[in-house]
Every structure is written in structure tokens, then in C-alpha cells.
Amino acid sequence: MHEDGPGPGRLAGVTSPDRAGLLDPATHTWLTRHALPGARLHEVDPLPGGFTNDMALLTAQPADAPGPERYVLRRYRPSDSRVPRNTCAVEVAVLGRAAARTVPVTAVVASDPHGRATGRPTLLYRFVDGTPLSQVLADGPVSGEARGLGRAVGAVLARIGRVRLPHPGAFGDASLVPAPEEAVPLGDLPGFVDRCLATAAADGPLSGTDAAALRALARQGPRALAAVSGERSLVHCDFNPKNVLVERRAGQWAVAAVLDWELAFSGSPLFDVGNMLRFAHEYPPAFTTGFLQGFRGGNGRLPGDWRQLSRTLDLFALADILTAPPDPAYFARARTALHKAAAHRLAQAATDTSRY
């Protein structure tokens, strides 16, 4: 949703807005009669990055608007993912709950949560201008800039954590009342890692040594999950730089929007801390410092062993990435993160042993 959209010069005289064939007749009808009544569609372009759903950027002229506006159309595909994913109806409810607590999110325009009009669950929301945090970090901000950037992101994560749910668990429906029998959507970390390894491609890039390191780290899972078992905050569960849009406001960094809430559940913010800091070794150290300052300053709680807990909780995501990587470059980054986590765990174990 952060990609550059069509410029004004591309709007005039467009007679075939959907050159890529992204809109079937039922979806086109829903858009122009229900979601944006009377609107004229100028452009429909695919958006990259939709690994589990189909995304398109729409430029349309609403009937009551002085000029064209941009929207994102999200069409949900059936998912056989190892990680539970929220339905369209649940994601709409999560966005509404987050927005009510002043979390910067995209504004929902319309939804067809069960696909009764369009044939597939469909969500339309406003396009948000901003730059992906991943891009800003890759550009290598200087120390002061990186610290301010981290503070802004950490403060927003603390705000997300202040959204309280009835109890921990996955969201079964749009009521956002989690299933009480499921403390977190994934539960058994060693079992989840074993399932990931069992279903990984035989010719995949993960070595036996890597698999052993992953299993060894996963054995810390029961302790980590027990430590956060009673927490019931809103968890994004994919809170990483590619899903955070940032912008400059009055010379300061601010978060424009947190994107893609399809994995959200009720639990501990430490899941999101671990996610954001998974590749902290690639970022300016001042970003991590600022991130922790912003999180604490927003009343985010970090226990004494938060580093180990957050790293362990992030293994759910890391195991999924390592055994089904989207591309070789991302696998290499995830493998480095695995080795750093394993080295840290060995160092911690040595320190613990030396105390006795």
C-alpha cells in the first residue's frame, strides 16, 4: 500500500481502467454501486506483497469528491497457512477496535466479509501515504534520526498493547472474544517447530544443523508461553518494518499506519517486540534504543528477561519463514537471526552455569 500510485497525468482519458483484469463484473458492480456509489474508476493496478491475499490499488473519482482518490482493494484467498489467519470480518473488527484507541490504521470504506456480493471476502480501505519503515531503515538514518524513528514506532506499539481483550486467544469471530481454551493461536512451540520441519521441502535450504538449533531454541517455548499466559492485549503478530508506514510531521518522524492485521490475536506485546527486533542487528543501534524508549514511555511493560522471552515467542514466525521462505534473500536474513538467537542462548546458559 505504500507503492507509488498513478500520477495525475495518467487519469485523463482513461477508458480501460482495469487493464490487468483484476476486477470481475461482480466486484466492479459492488465497488461502483455499494462501496463507492456512483464513482468512476480511473485506474486498477496490482499491488505487490500480498503473499496470502490479492491486493489492488484503485484510483477512483467518488460522486461527491472534488478529485480522484486512492483506495486499496483486498480480496481474501482461502489459506492453508500453518499460522491461523483472521477472516475479513475479524480484520475489519480489529481495525475498528485499534482505531478507537488512536492506533494509526487504514480507514475501512466498505467490506463484503462473506463474499456474498463479490464471490470472495473483500475489503476496501483508503490508501495511506507514507514510506515503509523497512525502506527508511535500509537507507541508514543517522543516530539522532534513527532514535526518533524508533521512539515513534515503540510508542505506537505501546498504544496497540493498551487495547485490552476479554481474555487471551485467537479471534473466532467479529466479536473479538477469543476462544478461552486457546491461550495463543499457536500454543505448543516445540510441536509447531516439528510440524514446520516435517512439512518443509526435502530440498529446502535449511540444514540439519539449522534444524537442530531451531529445535533447541523451541524447547524454551513452554517457559516463555507460561510467563505471558495471562496477558490479553491486542497483538499485531506481524509487527515488522514492512508493515509500518512512517512519515515526517513538523520535522519529526511519525507512524502513518500499521498495515496487515490478518494475524492479530489477544496475548502479550512481547510477540510484537520480538517481531520488530528480529533483524535488529541490521538496524542502527539507536533505532532499537529509541524503540524501547518509546515502548516504555507509552507504558509498555518489559520484564527483566524480555529479550529472551521476545526472541522465543518470535520463533513461531521464524520457524515458518525458515521452512517455507518467500525467497533466498529473506531466508538468509532469517537464518542469520536464528544463529544469533542460538549464540545468545548459549552465552546466557554459560552465564547461568557460572553462577553456581
Q: From 45, 53, 40, select the one nearest 18 (Cα to Cα).
A: 45
Q: Which tens digits make up the pLDDT trace of 256-291?
A: 999 999 999 999 999 999 999 999 999 999 999 999
Q: What is the mean pLDDT of residues 164-186?
A: 81
pTM, two decimals, is 0.90
pLDDT value at 11 more than 60: no
> Do 305 and 265 contact (CB within 8 A), yes or no?
no
The domains located in the chain, with CATH, are 8-126 (3.30.200), 131-344 (3.90.1200.10)
Residue 124, pLDDT > 80, answer: yes
Is the predicted pLDDT of residue 85 greater than 80, yes or no? yes
pLDDT band at 14 (very low <50, low <70, confident <90, very high): very low
Long-range contact list for 98-102, CB < 8 A, 24+ apart?
98/160, 98/163, 98/234, 98/258, 98/261, 101/159, 101/160, 101/162, 101/163, 102/159
User: What value does the mean pLDDT of the chain take?
Assistant: 89
Pair 291, 154: CB distance under 8 Å: yes
Average pLDDT over residues 313-323: 95
Q: How far is CA 166 from CA 170, 179, 193, 269, in A?
A: 11, 10, 29, 15
Q: How far is CA 330 from the centre of its chain?
A: 16
Contacts 24+ apart (CB under 8 A), 197-206: 197/319, 197/323, 199/82, 199/323, 199/324, 200/323, 200/324, 204/323, 204/325, 205/325, 205/328, 205/331, 205/335, 206/322, 206/323, 206/335
pLDDT, residue 7, reads: 35
